[in-house]
Structure 1
Amino acid sequence: MDYRAFEKACDYIDSQRKKGVDVSAAEVSNFMYYSLGHLNAIFKYFCNESLGKFIKNRKLDDGGVELFVKGTPINIVANRVGYDPGSFTKAFKAEHNMLPQKIKNVKRGKNMSKVIAIGFSFGGAGTSTLALITGALLADQGNKVLIIDASLVSSISYVLACKPEERTILMDNLDSEEVSDTVKFGLLGALIDQEPEKHIISFSPNFHLLPNDGYLGFNLPRIYYDKSLRMRIEHDSFKQIIEKLKSDYNYIIIDTHYLGLSEISDMVIKSSDRIVIPLHARAYLLSKVERALELIEEKGLKRSNVIGVFRRDFDIDESDLEVENKVRSQFGEFLSKSFLPYNESARKAVCGYDELMEEVKNRRIPVEYCCLISEFC
């Protein structure tokens, strides 16, 4: 299927939306020199909906994102995207399983920090994508946000392209020469010296990162076999870092890794107010979800403070939906009604900081992310 045609059509629709022009499926067809039937087939393949429905939902998404980012009254938003308030509410609820009134601006006041961990799933569910987009959207609302990269593969640190010259060089006094040559900055350094502010990288006044230097991720088990390091990382080191940083941020978003693989995941749970677990139908069994919830409860966080959300790719099929329904039937109270579409906007958002902020500023982030953030913030 012609992906370039799909991308070109989306760009045209977005360009017209920016100008305030209501574009129709027929106009897109004329612009592309494609038959409407062929374009419908392309859109059905890549986003599981016709071109006409895609355009209609783009308007709803515009309205939802504006509600989230600016807190604009619903009647004004509805009128702006071509609906009366009642029709907008009905259409939005039908598409996103959430009343638009539930989407809220979640800007927090001074000294009202909230710590949210995203992860504890089993790979391929978009944990880092959700953490990045959540942080960017919250920062766009005017919140001061810190993302902590505590994942196994340092995804966010690599996506945001942390350059060596931007890293604070610390920790010259480690006993282990092998480790002191490797560890120069980041979360592991903060765990040891308990001075996290020295390791934080600022991308904008409201968007900061405590990166992962790679050692913490790929070589994490070695930390606990290295006696000199283990002596420097107390069991409550992570919580101490969080407590030091809370007064400086409205939101602290932690991108973390699988439960049970290290003490770091235990530390993250004990330091968090809420936990979000992204799920993917092709990678999950009911037993895995149950085990994740049990482990979180064992560490002292109530299940009511945990929310799960399914990621949906554009090629979702009946077997994927069947898995979702099985999980929902057993863990309905734990799962969000929203889902996370992993579409072109989501992919572009995790290509780098500039790309991420461009998607946010141009309101191209799927509104489902706004719905989900409204639930757990």
Structure 2
Amino acid sequence: MVVWAIANQKGGVGKTTTTVTLGGILAQQGNRVLLVDTDPQASLSYYFGVDAEELSHSVFDVFTAGDSLDKDKVLDSLCSTKLDSLFILPSSMALATLDRTMGTQPGMGLILKKAFAKIADEFDYVLIDCPPVLGVLMVNAVAACDKLLVPVQTEFLALKGLQRMMHTLEIMSKSQKRDFDYIIVPTLFDKRVNAATEAYRNLCETYKGKVWSGVIPVDTRFRDASQAQSPPSVFSPKARGVYAYKNLLTQLQTKVGHVS
């Protein structure tokens, strides 16, 4: 099972779009895919029409299970989607209380990693949509992942926000005594806008070797797919944004030897 976390400490950079689009493409390839919503705002859950506040189970139950966490508890918290092989572990507003109520408990940063180990034979890929703030939820996602995807909008303020994310990775690398494999994904790129082109150039120069060679363009089909509660690759398979994500996925799968 391959685990990817999609994270950035800035909102509006395309984290949920990246999670949904890659997840949809992977499922269409025949993989069993789990999307995990760790953002209390629950954008990923609502994307698929899942009202997190009406559910009896969510990812919050995984975090609060303690010693009773087992495979059944994780699987019982999942929701299905229109794609047979695509599932969601939905969010809950209660996640916003975790840092205050449980953030200092021993082992709190490794709960997701332990949960995924219990369902490793059930899924080929797990994609974690992270909240835009540093806390126990993002720490769990980064600690559990094999690779971190960092979507970055190609504009000046987003590049400033990326500095905070890189600083967080540096701190976590030291505390966990491991290097994290990550790739920066330029998003919302509009080649007609000089500021976007300049931001992309600065991004490549500053983080040489860590920036994906392509870009995710601005594409209104992403918004249309969201309104239809369908992965973009299903809703509009020939959209230029979907094509870009397919190229990104090809590179990611080549790195892990999972070309489908």
Q: Name the TM-score class by shorter chain.
A: 0.7 to 0.9
Q: In structure 2, what is the equivalent of residue 317 of structure 1?
A: 193
Q: In structure 1, what is the equivalent of residue 164 of structure 2?
A: 291
Aligned counterparts of 1:311 and 1:295: Cα–Cα separation in 2: 21
Q: In structure 2, what is the equivalent of residue 247 of structure 1?
A: 121
1:205-244 residue CA offsets vs partner (Å, 9 max, x unmatched): 310000002332xxx1x333336x9769833222111211
Give the fraction of aligned pairs with identical amino acids, expressed as a percent.
18
Contact 1:117 1:255 (C-alpha < 8 Å) held by counterparts: yes
Deviation at 1:137, TM superposition (A): 0.4
Q: In structure 2, what is the equivalent of residue 186 of structure 1?
A: 58
Contact 1:235 1:267 (C-alpha < 8 Å) held by counterparts: yes
Matched residue pairs, number?
241
1:78-97 residue CA offsets vs partner (Å, 9 max, x unmatched): xxxxxxxxxxxxxxxxxxxx
Deviation at 1:363, TM superposition (A): 3.7
Return the match for 2:179 from 297, 302, 307.
302
1:285-309 residue CA offsets vs partner (Å, 9 max, x unmatched): 6554333223224323535x21111
Superposition CA RMSD, Å: 2.7
Deviation at 1:258, TM superposition (A): 2.7
Deviation at 1:320, TM superposition (A): 2.0
One-letter code aligned to 1:257: P
Q: In structure 1, what is the equivalent of residue 11 of structure 2?
A: 123
One-letter code aligned to 1:226: T
1:52-89 residue CA offsets vs partner (Å, 9 max, x unmatched): xxxxxxxxxxxxxxxxxxxxxxxxxxxxxxxxxxxxxx
Normalised TM-score (structure 2): 0.82
Aligned counterparts of 1:126 and 1:164: Cα–Cα separation in 2: 21
Contact 2:32 2:86 (C-alpha < 8 Å) held by counterparts: yes
Aligned counterparts of 1:290 and 1:146: Cα–Cα separation in 2: 29
1:225-276 residue CA offsets vs partner (Å, 9 max, x unmatched): 336x97698332221112112221000000002352x111111111000011
Aligned counterparts of 1:355 and 1:131: Cα–Cα separation in 2: 10
Aligned counterparts of 2:201 and 2:233: Cα–Cα separation in 1: 34
The structure 1 segments of at least 4 consecutive aligned residues displaced by more than 3 Å after TM superposition are 163-167, 229-235, 283-288, 313-316, 352-358, 362-365
Further displaced range: 154-163 or 283-292 = 283-292
SS of the residue corresponding to residue 224 of structure 1 reads: helix
Q: In structure 2, what is the equivalent of residue 369 of structure 1?
A: 245
Further displaced range: 338-347 or 310-319 = 310-319
Q: In structure 2, what is the equivalent of residue 144 of structure 1?
A: 32
Q: Which has the higher helix share?
A: 1
Change (3 A) 1:224 1:309: closer
Q: Which runs of 5+ in 1 are unaligned?
A: 1-112, 170-184
One-letter code aligned to 1:266: V
Deviation at 1:322, TM superposition (A): 1.1
Return the match for 1:223 from 81, 98, 112.
98
Return the match for 2:213 from 337, 344, 351.
337
Change (3 A) 1:363 1:294: same
Contact 2:27 2:86 (C-alpha < 8 Å) held by counterparts: yes
Q: Is 2:42 the partner of 1:154? A: yes
Normalised TM-score (structure 1): 0.58
Change (3 A) 1:251 1:231: same
Deviation at 1:312, TM superposition (A): 2.6
Q: Is 2:26 the partner of 1:132? A: no
Q: Which runs of 5+ in 2 are unaligned?
A: 254-260
Aligned counterparts of 1:287 and 1:354: Cα–Cα separation in 2: 32
Aligned counterparts of 2:108 and 2:76: Cα–Cα separation in 1: 19
Q: In structure 2, what is the equivalent of residue 278 of structure 1?
A: 151
Change (3 A) 1:355 1:116: closer
Larger RCO: 1 or 2 (CA < 8 Å, sep 6+): 2
SS of the residue corresponding to residue 126 of structure 2 reads: strand
Deviation at 1:334, TM superposition (A): 0.8
SS of the residue corresponding to residue 215 of structure 2 reads: strand
Deviation at 1:278, TM superposition (A): 0.7
Contact 1:132 1:350 (C-alpha < 8 Å) held by counterparts: no
Contact 2:45 2:51 (C-alpha < 8 Å) held by counterparts: no
SS of the residue corresponding to residue 113 of structure 2 reads: helix
Change (3 A) 1:374 1:212: same
Q: Is 2:203 the partner of 1:327? A: yes
Deviation at 1:350, TM superposition (A): 2.0
Aligned counterparts of 1:142 and 1:340: Cα–Cα separation in 2: 24
SS of the residue corresponding to residue 213 of structure 2 reads: strand
One-letter code aligned to 2:39: S
Deviation at 1:152, TM superposition (A): 4.1
